[in-house]
Chains A and B, each alone.
Chain A
Amino acid sequence: MTETLSQLRRIAQNPTLSFKQKAHALAVEAENMLPYVLLDAETRAALDTRVICDMYEGHAPYKPRYVLPDYEVVLRNGSEHLELPKPETLDEAISTLQIAYHHVPSVTGMPVFIGHLDALLLPFCNGVSDDDLYRKIKLFWRYIDRVLPDAFLHADIGPTDNRVARTILRVDAELKQVAPNLTFLYDPEVSGEAMLRLCTDNIIACSKPHIANHPVHREVFDEPGYAIVSCYNALPLRGGAATLARVNLKKVAEASTSEADFLEVQLPRYVNLNARLMRARLDYLFRQSGFFDGNFLVEEGWIDKDRFTAMFGIFAMAEAVNHLQDLAGRPGRYGHDAAANAIGHRISERLADLVAHEPMEHVWRGVAMLHAQAGLSSDAGTTPGVRIPYGSEPDPVSHVQALLPHHQHYLSGVSEILTLDETVRANPEAVFQLAKGALQLGFREFTANVAGNDLVRVTGFMIRLSDVKLYNAAKGSRVNTTALGAEAADTVHILARKPRVVGLELMAGSSV
Chain B
Amino acid sequence: MSDGVAAVSKFLTWSVVDGPGNRFVLFLQGCNYRCVTCHNPHTIGVCSDCGTCVAVCPSGALSRTSRKVVHDPGVCIACDSCLAACPTRANPMVRRMTVEDVLVLLRRNAPFLNGLTVSGGEATLQLDFLIDLFTAIRAAPELAHLTLFIDSNGHLPVDGWRRVLALTDGVMLDIKAFDADRHRRLTGVDNDLSLASARLLATVGKLHELRFLLIPGETDRPEEIAALAALARELGPQTRLRLNAFQQHGVRGPAAGWPKMPRDGLEAAAVALRAAGIAEVAVPSVWLP
- By a beta-carbon cutoff of 8 Å, the part of chain A in contact with chain B is 395-398, 400-401, 421-427, 429-430, 432-434, 436-438, 440-441
Contacts and interface: CB of A to CB of B under 8 A. Distances in A.
B63 interface: no
B282 A395 contact: no
A40 B86 CA distance: 66
A419 to B, nearest CB: 12
27 contacts: A395-B12, A395-B13, A397-B22, A397-B109, A421-B286, A423-B285, A424-B16, A426-B282, A426-B285, A427-B16, A427-B20, A429-B20, A429-B21, A429-B22, A429-B114, A430-B14, A430-B21, A432-B21, A433-B113, A433-B114, A434-B14, A434-B112, A436-B111, A437-B109, A437-B111, A437-B112, A440-B111
A400 B285 CA distance: 25
Interface in B88-115: 108-114
B17 interface: yes
A396 to B, nearest CB: 5
Contacts of A398: 13-14
Which residue among A421, A422, A432, A433 has the maximum number of chain B CB atoms within 10 Å of its CB? A433
B285 A425 contact: yes
Contacts of B113: 433, 437
Contacts of B12: 395
A205 to B, nearest CB: 15
Interface in B261-289: 282, 285-286
A421 B284 CA distance: 13
Nearest to A424: B16
Contacts of A396: 14
A15 B190 CA distance: 70
A54 B15 CA distance: 42
A396 B14 CA distance: 7
A427 B21 contact: yes
Contacts of A437: 109-113
Contacts of A397: 13-14, 22, 109, 112
Interface residues of B, number: 19
Interface in B16-32: 16-17, 20-23
Given A395-B12, A426-B282, A441 B111 contact: yes
Nearest to B114: A433
Nearest to B283: A426
Interface string B107-146: 0111111100000000000000000000000000000000
A427 B17 contact: yes
Contact of A395 (B14, B17, B21, B114): B14
Contacts of B22: 397, 427, 429-430, 433-434
Given A395-B13, A433-B114, A441-B111, 13 more contacts: A395-B12, A395-B14, A397-B14, A422-B286, A424-B16, A425-B285, A429-B21, A430-B22, A433-B21, A433-B22, A437-B111, A437-B112, A440-B111
A422 B110 CA distance: 23
A400 B112 contact: yes
A421 B15 CA distance: 11
A430 B12 CA distance: 14
Among B22, B110, B113, B285, the one with the most A-chain Cβ atoms within 10 Å of its Cβ is B22
Contacts of A433: 21-22, 112-114
Given A395-B12, A427-B20, A401 B114 contact: no
Contacts of B21: 427, 429-430, 432-433
B177 to A, nearest CB: 25
B16 to A, nearest CB: 4
Interface string B66-104: 000000000000000000000000000000000000000
Contacts of B286: 421-423
A359 B39 CA distance: 60
Contacts of B109: 397, 401, 437
Contacts of A425: 285
Contacts of A429: 20-22, 114
B24 to A, nearest CB: 9
Contacts of A432: 21
Contacts of A440: 111
Nearest 3 CB-CB pairings of A with B: A437-B111, A437-B112, A430-B22
Nearest to A399: B14
Given A398-B13, A429-B20, A430-B21, A422 B111 contact: no
Contacts of A436: 111
B263 to A, nearest CB: 15
A134 to B, nearest CB: 30
Contacts of B285: 422-423, 425-426
Nearest to B108: A401
A472 to B, nearest CB: 22
A423 to B, nearest CB: 5
Contacts of B16: 423-424, 426-427, 430
Contacts of B20: 427, 429
Contacts of B17: 423, 426-427
A124 B267 CA distance: 50
A438 to B, nearest CB: 7
A320 to B, nearest CB: 22
B114 A430 contact: yes
Interface in B170-194: none
Interface string B142-184: 0000000000000000000000000000000000000000000
A438 B17 CA distance: 20
Contacts of A400: 112
A440 B110 CA distance: 11
Contacts of A434: 14, 22, 112
A238 to B, nearest CB: 35
B14 to A, nearest CB: 4
A230 B108 CA distance: 33
Nearest to B145: A433
Most chain A beta-carbon neighbours within 10 Å: one of B13, B14, B21, B113: B14
A443 to B, nearest CB: 10
A437 B23 CA distance: 13
A399 to B, nearest CB: 9
Nearest to B110: A437
